[in-house]
A and B are shown apart, each in its own frame.
Chain A
Amino acid sequence: MTDRSVTQDRAPQGGATPARRFGDAGLLAGLAILLVLALMPQITAVAGGSYVLNLVMKAMILAIAAISLDLLIGYSGLVSFGHAAFLGLGSYVTGIALTEGIYGALPILGLVLLICGGFALVTGAISLRTSGVYFIMITLAFGQMLFFALSSLSSYGGDDGLTLWDTPDLFGAYVFQTGSGLFYSTLVVLALTWLAVGRIAGSRFGRVLRAGKESPLRVGVVGFDLYRFRLAAYVIAGLFAGVAGFLMACHTEFINPSTASWQNSGTLIVMVILGGMGTRNGALLGALFVVLIEEALSRYTVDWKLIFGPMLVLIALFAKGGLANLLARVGGGR
């Protein structure tokens, strides 16, 4: 009995209990963010107009990819530098299917999941044989491989990309057509992704991943085959990002190899880090923040990267924990 209380007392230092306490606050905060997002069509109708609404949609789609990436970076300690590949792959599968005459959203999504899952399984199986810096560079290389493969698809636009003239329909309903239909579909997918990754992180599966981030050796000694857990996480993250790619193709009505570029993968990582890794709302906030700050800075100057770049350097040098942490601190946490 005494032993148990001792271990329970020690648990908070490992981060379990604060996480749960913030988890509840985080759940509410996340729901609040989603609620605000859900009201964006009404809000932008009053101020901002469709331009801002489009921006919000772009941020929401990227947030889906960023949240799925957080499952790898934040919870599993796997710094994947090729996550944009799944965005690109998802959008290309969608675009190619539409061009080839498949218009049903369900078959297209099925293809997206199948192909992105397959790509994740193969590249993940090879990448996860390595760790640390090697893993970063291998995922980077695989991302780049896909980028060049997409660029060379000359009958689907090659380097220039391809404009899509159709949108997928769900049993005859055009819920993925640009406008409010796509907005609410994206919102639903975002909410589901946010919920699912939160659930996964809290589950036994997620605890193995998080333990593996702290010490792969101990997890192995305890008897878990960490490789399999990580591979499963890698595939899950790839599937979510693939769906984000599907939504992106519907939103922009255009597919472009640069979606899969490594700069885009870098931006996704920036979103996760800025928002706060391994936190309930970090990746969501990070994605919204990055898209908004890009927009704000580019209104101020064309060369907004001159400001954004040093900002990232300063954040890497001096900031810890990201936006979600800041929110928790301001919210009277600790």
Chain B
Amino acid sequence: MSSTLFLIQLLNGAQYGVLLFLIAAGLTLVFGVMGFINLAHGVQYMIGAYLTFMYFGVTGNFLTALLLGLVTALCLGLALEALVFRHLYDRDHLDQVLATFGIILFVNEAVKVIWGPGTLTLPAPEFLSASLQLTDNLLYPVYRLALIVVGVLVAAGLYLVVTRTRVGMLIRAGASNADMVSALGINIRRLFMIVFGFGAMLAGFAGALAAPVFTLEPGMGDNLLIVAFVVIIIGGIGSIRGAFIAAILVGLIDTLGRSLATDAMNLIFDASAANQIGPSIASMLIYIFMAAVLFFRPQGLFPAKGSA
């Protein structure tokens, strides 16, 4: 593999990792603070993408559409929280799985009914639609680079909020012992609501950013959700720092693995076997990585909960 190709894969990996982080951030907080297993988080990602698409059709301006999409995604997240999630915080994980699974079925189908089952595309905003000459023979779309920058900025901002502000302190305290925070006179329910709404918005943001890169289709968030789960398991549930590092690692491993696995297998097997085994191995890599991490550290790399 040439160094140019390697550089492209590296950038693609970072970009995938950044998207994963935006999804995983909300998921890990909701999980860490409330102990709530939210399968419907991937649906928020899809909603963000479709809402931005819809508003883009109306306004014709990507940034306005993004902003409107985010506000609507936040409102929808809060509405879901009030209607369903709020009543399930104290319940068994199984009830949470059942309810959020039902929400996935419903929203995926609703999106299919409203926007049709086919794929849709959203153009990148004009001011970012150019390509950048990175090396002599490598053009890379500016939009993708901007995506990485925005993702890293959001991650830094989120890290500052969680480690430096009062809300962040409460979130961390909630992640290590929610009962105690509640006993100290903090309205933990309101904290839950804020975290949930914010997490939903972040996932929606990821969807909106990803829309010009990938295509929109019903159920587009489902597979990403599982990878986001892998990310927060590796990073340690409830840890923003862990989620970021794990997201980048998973993004790189997955992207590089897909382009390198077949070549690597060529060294061991003959060409036809390598073509067969390579993609299989590549698609399993992140799960193998997760299994390896868990084998040595069952709580993930950066567990948020002190002793447990």
Contact = CB atoms under 8 A, between A and B. Distances in A.
Interface stretch (A101-109, A139-147, A166-174, A246-254): A139-147
A266 B222 CA distance: 12
Contacts of B295: 126, 129
A199 B96 CA distance: 30
Given A79-B97, A133-B31, A133-B35, A311 B233 contact: no
A85 to B, nearest CB: 11
B269 to A, nearest CB: 14
B265 to A, nearest CB: 12
B206 interface: no
18 contacts: A79-B93, A130-B298, A133-B35, A136-B97, A141-B290, A142-B287, A144-B223, A145-B287, A154-B279, A263-B222, A266-B97, A269-B98, A277-B94, A303-B112, A309-B103, A309-B107, A316-B99, A317-B88
B105 A312 contact: yes
A313 B106 CA distance: 10
A158 to B, nearest CB: 9
B37 interface: yes
A303 B99 contact: no
B108 interface: yes
Contacts of B279: 152, 154
A303 B113 contact: yes
A14 interface: no
Interface string A99-140: 000000000000000000000000000100110111011101
Given A269-B98, A317-B99, A126 B294 contact: yes
Contacts of B103: 309, 313
Contacts of B290: 138, 141
A323 interface: no
Given A129-B295, A312-B99, 6 more contacts: A126-B291, A134-B237, A138-B294, A144-B287, A303-B112, A309-B104
B110 interface: yes
A305 B235 CA distance: 34
Contacts of A33: none
B179 interface: no
Interface residues of B, number: 49
Interface in B271-305: 275-276, 279-280, 282-284, 287-288, 290-291, 294-295, 298
B230 interface: yes
B132 to A, nearest CB: 32
B233 A137 contact: yes
Given A144-B226, A149-B284, A317-B87, A134 B298 contact: yes
A133 B294 CA distance: 14
A133 B37 contact: yes
A317 B100 CA distance: 11
Interface of A: 73, 79, 81, 126, 129-130, 132-134, 136-138, 140-142, 144-145, 148-149, 151-155, 262-263, 266, 269-270, 273, 277, 303, 305-306, 308-313, 315-317
Contacts of B37: 133, 136-137
Nearest to A131: B298
Most-contacted residue by chain B among A133, A136, A140, A308 (CB, 10 A):
A133
B204 to A, nearest CB: 20
A333 to B, nearest CB: 23
A130 B294 contact: yes
Interface in B97-145: 97-99, 101-110, 112-113
Q: Top 8 A-B pairs ranked by shortest CB distance?
A: A312-B102, A309-B106, A148-B283, A309-B105, A145-B287, A316-B99, A305-B109, A316-B98
Nearest to A273: B98
B186 interface: no
A132 B93 contact: yes
A262 B97 CA distance: 12
B280 A316 contact: no
B84 interface: yes
B287 A305 contact: no
B95 interface: yes
Contact of A141 (B96, B107, B112, B229): B229
Nearest to A142: B287
Given A140-B229, A152-B279, A316-B88, A310 B94 contact: no
Nearest to A310: B106
Contacts of B96: 316
Contacts of B223: 144
A221 to B, nearest CB: 19
B81 to A, nearest CB: 13
Contacts of B237: 133-134
Contacts of A309: 102-107, 109
